[in-house]
Amino acid sequence: MAPVSSAGRALAGFLLSGFLFALLGAILPAWGYHRDPPEFITIGNYFLSLAVGVIASNALSPRIAARAGLRFQLVFACAVGCAGLLFLALVTPPSPWPWRVLGLAVIGLSVGLLNAGLFHAVSASYGREPARTVILGGIYYGLGCLAVTLLVAGTFYAYTVPVILVLMAIVPGAFAGLYARTQIVGQPFAAPADFRQVLRDFRSLGAILFALLLFFQFGNEWSIAGWLPLFLVRRLGMSPPASLWLLSVYWAALLVGRVAVVAVLPRMRHGRLLAASVLAAMLGCLLLASTNNQFGSATGVLLLGGGFASIYPLVAEKIGRRFPYYHPVFFSGIFSFALFGGLVFPATLGYAAQAWGIGVVMALPLLGTGMVSALLGLIWIELKVTGR
């Protein structure tokens, strides 16, 4: 068995990561949560359980890698994802919702273990070709998110939900077989920041501002990804498959936008691109919150996806210049805090929607995008004052 480069099968694993992590936003309409009476708290619990699984993997991953090796971790993560999907196929509604909470926690655990293994597998390649590795990983991840949404949208009326979930389980099962026959060679890119570095970060205004910016940006992106179909069905009366097709447009806009950013960056001032991106995202939120037709909603989704696409790459670039230990995939020190935005924002929306209605689904990302804009201004001021 020949070693696998980071541009090969290891990088392709990010497709599975996106496939599993974007599953919940696509499957909620198929589970019937677009109907009355609203069960927004239950949906919030689903997203929270997914987050708990991802967080739990942080404690489990180093032990598995140390005892059994990187290849075993990848195979195990894929097998756990396959088992989680098969379990969800057995506990679809009208089964009690706590069973689905358990299944989604297993999916979160699978995603966390898979990501940790993949990041180590591509670390050597990242050291040689950082831009190419990040771009390829992002493309695969976006394709995975798009693929799971298209799968549910295309089979919504053709198959029952258990059959759809069984079909989904084939994907992690295939990746488990792929990695079982592959010699994975990888090593950590860098040691994580120690406790003293974390303390220094908390005394650095710049680090705090950047971490908060990533926190809100990840939260904005995944709030839309998790709640857009339900919002479109309940607010605009759109059919569930049509809402899932629009979610696919969102993923496609994010994917195409992030690829396009690579070509645009050398030709455009980064500050202007950031400002245009934030403005487009805010306009998208406002349009979705106020429109009453499919054309307006499609335009809003395109603005959101295109606006969000360039914010993270630009911010990650700036962080890398200020904080050398920062890694785009290994969140070190205070920047680990940023990851929680993408995990807890969708859950928070569920609890907020129960109290204030489905309209809050657009209100919270709009506020979050406003926070991103304000933080960008504060970072610019901080850079001017410090001269960095």
- Which tokens belong to 214? 């990533």
Looking at residue 7, its pLDDT comes to 44
> Phi and psi of 4, rounded to 5°?
-105, 130
Contact 236, 285 (CB under 8 A): no
Contact 141, 17 (CB under 8 A): yes
Looking at residue 63, its pLDDT comes to 86
Q: Show Cβ contacts of residue 21 under 8 Å, excluding neighbours closer than 6 positions.
A: 50, 111, 144, 145
Quick one: 14 exposed, middle or buried, by C-beta within 10 A (0-12, 13-18, 19+)? buried
Which of helix, strand or coil describes residue 4?
strand
- Which tokens belong to 91? 């506990």
Q: How far apart are CA 155 and CA 153, in angstroms?
A: 6
Looking at residue 186, its pLDDT comes to 56
Q: How far apart are CA 89 and CA 93, in angstroms?
A: 10
Contact 165, 103 (CB under 8 A): no
Q: What angle do CA 147, 148, 153 make, to 5 degrees?
A: 95
Which of helix, strand or coil describes residue 46?
helix
Q: What angle do CA 99, 101, 103 make, to 5 degrees?
A: 70
Q: What angle do CA 256, 258, 263 make, to 5 degrees?
A: 95
Where are the strands (E) in 47-155, listed by range? none
Q: Cα separations (Å) of 73 from 16, 176, 298, 372? A: 14, 10, 40, 36
Where are the strands (E) in the chain, listed by range? 3-4, 183-184
pLDDT in tens, the chain (388 residues): 444 444 467 788 899 999 999 999 999 999 999 887 888 999 999 999 999 998 888 888 888 888 888 889 999 999 999 999 999 999 999 999 999 999 999 999 999 899 888 888 877 666 666 666 777 788 899 999 999 999 999 999 999 999 999 999 999 999 999 998 877 665 544 445 454 555 565 566 777 787 788 888 888 999 999 999 999 999 888 999 999 999 999 999 999 988 887 777 777 777 788 888 889 999 999 999 888 888 999 999 999 998 888 887 777 666 656 665 555 444 444 445 566 677 789 999 999 999 998 989 898 889 988 898 888 888 878 777 776 6
- Which tokens belong to 347? 């859950």
Looking at residue 321, its pLDDT comes to 63
Domains and CATH numbers, the chain: 1-189 (1.20.1250.20), 194-388 (1.20.1250.20)
pTM, rounded to two decimals: 0.89
Sign of CA dihedral 238, 239, 244, 246: negative
Q: Hunting for tokens 């497709």 — which residue is that?
A: 15
